[in-house]
Structure formats: C-alpha cells, structure tokens
Structure 1
C-alpha cells in the first residue's frame, strides 16, 4: 500500500454493529456455542477420515477437505466477530482487516470448488462405476484438489491486490467483516473497470460450478431411474442433500455479492443475514450432510466412541482392583503391627 496516510487509513470501522446493551452477552454466548459446535463437528469428521484407513478413498478425502475449509473459514471469522459483540468500539487494524478479507474470500471460493469436485466424484462413481478406480486415481484426486485450491487464489487475488493498492478516502465498512468489495468502494479513484471485472468473475465463479453440478446430478437422476430401488435410495441419500445445500449456498452467495454494490443502509438487515448465512450455515451443515449422514463415517465415529467407553470401563475396573489390593495390603500391615 502507498505510504500517504491520508489515502491509506491505519484502521477500519464496522458501522453495522449496534449497542445491544446486556443482550450482547446473550449474542456472544450463542455465537460462541455455534463456533464451538462448528469446530467440534468438523474436527470429528477430519480425525475420523485421517485415522481410519478404510476411509482413505476419494469421496471421504473430499469431505475431509470440505470440513478443513469449514474450520479455516470459521477461524478466520468468529474470533474477531466475538470480540466485536462485546466491544463498545468496532475498529480493526488495516493488516488484520486484509488478513480477514483474504481468509473469508478464499473460504468462499474453496467451498464452491470443493463442492464441484465432490459432484464430479459422485458423477463418475454412479454413472461410470466400472471406470471409477481408473479415473479417480491418487494423481487425479491430487490434481482436482490442487485446482480447487489454486482457482480461488487466482480469482480473488486480482481483487485483493487492487484493494491493497487503491488510494482510500474513508475507513467505514458497512459490513460485519472485511470484504474486498467493501474496501474497493472506499476508493478515491474510479473503479468502473474493477466493478465490471468483479461482476463477470462473480457470475463465472458462481454459476459455472452450479451449472456443472446441476448437469451431473441430472445425469445421476437419469441413471437412478433405470436402476433398482436399493441403488436409487443409496444414490439419492448421497446426492440429494448435496444439490440442495449447494444450490442454496450459490444463490445466497450471489445475492450477497449483488447487494454489496448497492447502499447497504437500505437493505442493512438482509445483507447482514446473507453474510452470516454463508459463513455460519455451511460449516454447521457440512459435517451433518456429508459426514454423519454417511454410514461409513458414522460407523467409524460410533466405533471410536464404543472403544473409548470400553477402555474407560477397563481403566476404572483396573483402578478399582488396584485400590482394593492396596486396602487389603494396608489392613494386613496394620494387623501385623498389632502384634
């Protein structure tokens, strides 16, 4: 960024937070509960996939990466959000704002690309089952994950660079967290080219994956219609939640992006709800829909819990026997001391 302090504020201020009085502690407690739930649920899925060798398959690896992205995005948003709920002033330093901006933007991109890769994996598994193992090799999985990670970095890197180099004539952000577009709107110079480019990339980044996912699941539904009821039930159990959550995510993301170009004072509440929706709902739903909903992952988790329970009972049993042995030894010692 340029060194002129009049054009590069050292901090930004969030203007959408209100003084909720004692209610701030209720909102803080609920937000903290949501954050802990997100961390716990996604961490369970990640550890289950990493520690259980039977889950080292493409579908479960993609689910693990999706849960890792939920941990990544939540950690980039919630700590600062929790501080703002309890604070009377809502300022954020320039470096911290740009860090939060990068994390939240790339989290959104990773969510889109990973869900698209998962749709392709299901398409090959259901529509081309005989070629699945030849197509979804370790090298292919690594290539798909690399593309899923690199594309958001490239797509948002341009706007991140522009936001960090543009001269700014203000420091008030009408959002609950730092975003690239909200900072670009503070620019002292014209940004018509950036606006047009951002709209084009937004349409491509949202509707291209959505179109691909709709196409793959249409093909899957056609295959399921000609298959047995058992196969159809298993396929729909895996695919239907995916298409519903992915469609909802794309629509809410595009609406939030579109509203960012309008005066947020007119749609302040709606804009805040949309921002919270794609930052909070997916990290909660992902472990349930893509993790616990699958019997293989659920079986591993329950098996671990049963093993831990049995191990705990074994430790308690051994401890009880050892204590009884010590009591008998002490009694024998006291009996000998009487003589």
Structure 2
C-alpha cells in the first residue's frame, strides 16, 4: 500500500440514512454486544476454573467463545462509533476489520466442524475417543487452524491493499473484502478467485464435515435403545442448533455481499446483527442451557461463592 492509499479514507453512506433510528440502534447493539461479552467471558471463566471441564469438547467451546468475542469486537465498536458520529474510517483500519472478519467467519465454521467430529468419535467410536481426541491433539488442531486462517486472511488483505481505489463510499455497516474490492478502478479476478478458494477451504469443507458427522451420528443413535436415543439427541441438539443458526446467517451474508446495488436499510441492519452480534450471544447461551455439566459447574461456583 503506497502512502497515498494508506492515507485514503472510507465513508459509510448507510449511516447518514439511519439518523432517525440512531438512538434505537445504538441502545440495541450496545446491549446485545455487552451482553454477549459478559456471557462469553463468564462461560470462559467457568471452563477455566472447573478442572473437570478441561476436556477436548470444552476446550473447543472456549475457542468458540473467543472467536465470537473477536468477531463482535471487530464490528460492534465500529458500528457504535459511527452511530454516535458519522465519521470516515481510514483504509488501513478498514483492512484490519476485513482481516478479523475473515478470521472470525472461518474460525466459527472450523470449530463447529471440530465439535461435530468430537461428538462423532464420542458416540460412534467411544473406545477410541481417548486416543483420537486428546487435549494435546485438539490444541495442535487449533494451532493449525489459527495459523492457516491468519495466513490466508493476511494474504487476502494484502491483495486487497494493492488495489487502486476510484471510489471511497461503502454502502454497508462494516468493511469486508468484497466491499473494498468493489471500490477499485479495475476488475479484481485474482481477489475473487482467491476469496472463492478460501471460502471452499474454510467454509464449505467444514460444512461438509459437520453434515457427514451428524449423518453418521444420527444413524448410530437411531439404531440404539430409546434411552440412548434420548441422551444422544439431547447431546446433539445444541450442536445442530448452533450450526444451523450460523449457517443461515452466513448464507444471508453471502447473498448480501454479492449485491452490488444499494440495499434497503433493514437488510443492512439485519445482516450485520444476524452475523456478527447474535451468534456470539447465542452460542454460549445454547451450550450453557443445554449442557448439564456446564449447569452443574455454574451451581458449584455459586455455592462456593455463597460459603466464602
């Protein structure tokens, strides 16, 4: 990025048309964001404090919470700042947001895929579980995941930063790679192809792994006894709900990003909240409510606090 491009600014036209709804949106997004932060941090505290939860599934849950905090924190302060004062954003700041958005979206799908695989091994191959899913192996998989996502996102941001911009107005609440690429003076086939490859690697492949794992699990569960079926379905419900929720939000986000013309304000708001704010809020709630061990650990912590 040359000096002239690095000093360029990006304006968000959508905020100027939201003037009448600024106060309502500001309160709504602030409450959802702070609530999500508190719930995620509380769940992180519970898992870290309770030694009985230091197992692969809960290690993945901690990283799902961390990815949610990263995703919402990369977007919500930006939205809140723009609602308070409709100011321009620097291009480097915009590209930084692109990096974290890419990491967040890929990270959630990959962690949900690892969770689905964990449940598959636990239910379909229980005798091999402690050899296949050790904490050390999970940490290694997470390290590879973060390294791969960070590298691919950095390359995408670098390619985007090399573009010469003819326009500086984005019709969305936040910056994303395609929105910045659309500001370019030229066609961007390389960035489009690279972005498609990243989507296949970090979204479609994890989705296929999740679906394949759940198909195998449901096949095994349906052949078992009524009690085992009930227990298996109770275990799988939060995973399926979480996966469907984030997949639907991502589907709407992809369609929204491909719209080159100006979209209605309601679509702008709905897409941003549905992808960046609601999943980080719902993920810990779903797991906190549905997982019995989490509820028991919370009760233990509350009892300890009462007797201190």
Distance 1:244 1:287 in 2: 12
Structure 1, 300-309 or 280-289: larger mean CA deviation: 300-309
Query: Number of paired residues?
Result: 308
Q: Mind listing any 5+ residue stretches in structure 1 that lack a counterpart? A: 312-339
Report the CA distance between 1:60 and its aligned residue: 0.7
Structure 1, 270-279 or 160-169: larger mean CA deviation: 270-279
Distance 2:52 2:197 in 1: 42
Q: Secondary structure at the match of 2:259?
A: coil
Distance 1:271 1:255 in 2: 11
Q: Secondary structure at the match of 1:16?
A: helix
The answer to whether structure 1 residue 70 and structure 2 residue 57 are counterparts is no
| Residue 161 of structure 2: aligned partner | 164
Aligned equivalent of 1:13, options 7, 11, 24: 11
Q: Secondary structure at the match of 2:75?
A: helix
Cα distance per residue 1:94-152 (max 9 Å; x no partner): 22222222112211111111111111111101100011001112331122212321232
TM-score, structure 1 as length reference: 0.84
TM-score, structure 2 as length reference: 0.92
Query: For the aligned residues, what is the CA RMSD?
Result: 2.0
List aligned pairs for 1:169-318, cutoff 5 A. 169-266=166-263, 269-311=266-308
Q: Which has the higher contact order (CA 8 A, sep 6+)?
A: 2
Q: Secondary structure at the match of 1:12?
A: strand
Report the CA distance between 1:8 and its aligned residue: 5.3
Distance 1:266 1:281 in 2: 21
> Are the equivalent residues in 2 in contact too, given 1:63–1:291 (CA < 8 A)?
no
Structure 1, 284-293 or 122-131: larger mean CA deviation: 284-293
Distance 1:204 1:135 in 2: 23
Q: Secondary structure at the match of 1:17?
A: helix
Report the CA distance between 1:200 and its aligned residue: 4.0
Q: Secondary structure at the match of 1:265?
A: coil
Report the CA distance between 1:22 and its aligned residue: 6.0
Aligned equivalent of 1:42, options 32, 40, 43: 40
Q: Mind listing any 5+ residue stretches in structure 2 that lack a counterpart? A: none
Report the CA distance between 1:229 and its aligned residue: 2.3
Distance 1:258 1:28 in 2: 25
List aligned pairs for 1:25-40, cutoff 5 A. 25-40=23-38
Distance 2:59 2:125 in 1: 20
Q: Secondary structure at the match of 1:54?
A: helix
Report the CA distance between 1:21 and its aligned residue: 4.6
Structure of larger gyration radius: 1
> Are the equivalent residues in 1 in contact too, given 2:12–2:171 (CA < 8 A)?
yes
Distance 1:224 1:15 in 2: 51
| Residue 133 of structure 2: aligned partner | 136
